[in-house]
């Protein structure tokens, strides 16, 4: 099953400094048919105005992955971690038993990012945070794993769930295949460029939900960037 979810039909909340688009139910957007996709609970497409951001707030029992598409985001948390994550790079936060953090766009330009929440495999672990640079040029024409429940095997940031977060850039006219267990749930978005997934066309920022497939092919109709979660 492959379902394209058009960007125009997704949930929205414009707070002025934050223009948020919700692929799944989140905050004041409630869509019973879109409470998640397998263990994927949240996929937010956020546009954050310069010199603004999220003040300190708590999380627990969630794996939170931030994929920065343009600009940069600065993080500070109750564990004493602080960092700045630039476009193309990734940060992960395992909220565990509880963590409080703030995220700000301290740049003079707009920041765009995907924030993805995945349910952890277990509760009760201490919280943790990490970030890493992933140069976009190294994922040209191939899937690069940026966060994984098997971080050593995938050379990726660690998350405490049976899932992988992947990214790729694909030149126009080329294709990229992906093999998977049909029982798993995949969700992918091309923030830039049009794609065709097993014959179904998706516009930029549309969501593509996949399950029950053992292989799919992403065809780039333009030069594209693709971000994807493969979760159990």
Cβ atoms 39, 119 nearer than 8 A: yes
Contacting residues for 30 by C-beta, under 8 A, at least 6 apart:
none
The helix (H) or strand (E) run that includes residue 151 is: helix 151-154
CA dist., res. 202 & res. 199, Å (int)? 10
* 63-70 and 111-118 strand pairing: antiparallel
Which residue is associated with the tokens 């977060």?
Answer: 165
Q: pLDDT tens, position by position, for the chain (232 residues)?
A: 999 999 999 999 999 999 999 999 999 999 999 999 999 999 999 999 999 999 999 999 999 999 999 999 999 999 999 999 999 999 999 999 999 999 999 999 999 999 999 999 999 999 999 999 999 888 999 999 999 999 999 999 999 999 999 999 999 999 999 999 999 999 999 999 999 999 999 999 999 999 999 999 999 999 999 999 999 9
User: What is the spatial distance between Cα 93 and Cα 68, in angstroms, rounded to a whole number?
Assistant: 14
The pTM of this model reads 0.96
Distance of CA 71 to the CA centre of its chain: 16
Show the domains of the chain with their CATH numbers: 2-231 (2.60.120.10)
């Amino acid at each position: 099953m492959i379902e394209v979810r058009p960007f125009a039909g997704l949930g929205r909340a414009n707070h002025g400094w934050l223009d948020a688009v919700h692929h799944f139910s989140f905050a004041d957007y409630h869509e019973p048919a879109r409470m998640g996709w397998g263990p994927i609970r949240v996929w937010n497409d956020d546009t954050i105005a310069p010199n603004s951001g999220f003040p300190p707030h708590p999380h627990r029992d969630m794996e939170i992955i931030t994929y920065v598409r343009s600009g940069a985001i600065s993080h500070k948390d109750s564990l004493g971690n602080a960092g700045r994550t630039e476009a193309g790079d990734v940060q992960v936060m395992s909220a565990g038993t509880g963590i409080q953090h703030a995220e700000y766009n301290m740049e003079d330009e707009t920041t765009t990012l995907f924030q993805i929440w995945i349910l952890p495999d277990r509760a009760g672990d201490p919280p943790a945070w990490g970030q890493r640079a992933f140069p976009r040029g190294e994922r040209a024409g191939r899937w690069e794993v940026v966060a994984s429940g098997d971080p050593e095997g995938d050379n990726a940031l660690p998350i405490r769930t049976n899932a992988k977060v992947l990214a790729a850039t694909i030149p126009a006219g080329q294709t990229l295949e992906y093999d998977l267990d049909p029982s798993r749930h995949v969700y992918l978005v091309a923030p830039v460029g049009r794609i065709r997934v097993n014959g179904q066309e998706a516009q930029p920022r549309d969501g593509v939900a996949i399950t029950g497939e053992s292989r799919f092919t992403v065809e780039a109709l333009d030069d594209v960037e693709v971000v994807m979660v493969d979760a159990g």
